[in-house]
Amino acid sequence: MSDDIVTRLRALANALAMGEWIALTETCATAAAEIERLRVILQGWEHSARNAERDIVALRAERDEARREICRNEADDISMELLS
């Protein structure tokens, strides 16, 4: 949807450049540039969020494995005490 807005603003800016509406043309071009700048920032945030989600999944897996290892070690310790 934002691509359509940017395209329409640029088209409006080009059309107005042909007439006497220079100030409005600059405003449209500035608006389109700002939309594009914000889109880049948003894409960066989305990328960071995906990386964070991936890291969370990996850390949870590591935590679960550590818990299993602790349980195995405790079970081994109990078994050794019982055999002694």
Model confidence pLDDT, tens digit, residues 3-62: 677 777 777 777 777 776 666 677 777 888 888 888 999 999 999 999 999 999 999 999
Enumerate the H helices of the chain as residue ranges.
2-17, 22-83
In the block, residue with structure tokens 């450049």: 17
What was the pLDDT predicted at 70? Answer: 92
| Model confidence, pTM | 0.54
Contacts with 2 (C-beta within 8 Å, 6 or more apart), sequence order:
35, 39
Answer with the residue of higher pLDDT: 74 or 55.
55
| Amino acid (one-letter) located at 79 | S
Residue 67 has pLDDT above 90, yes or no: yes
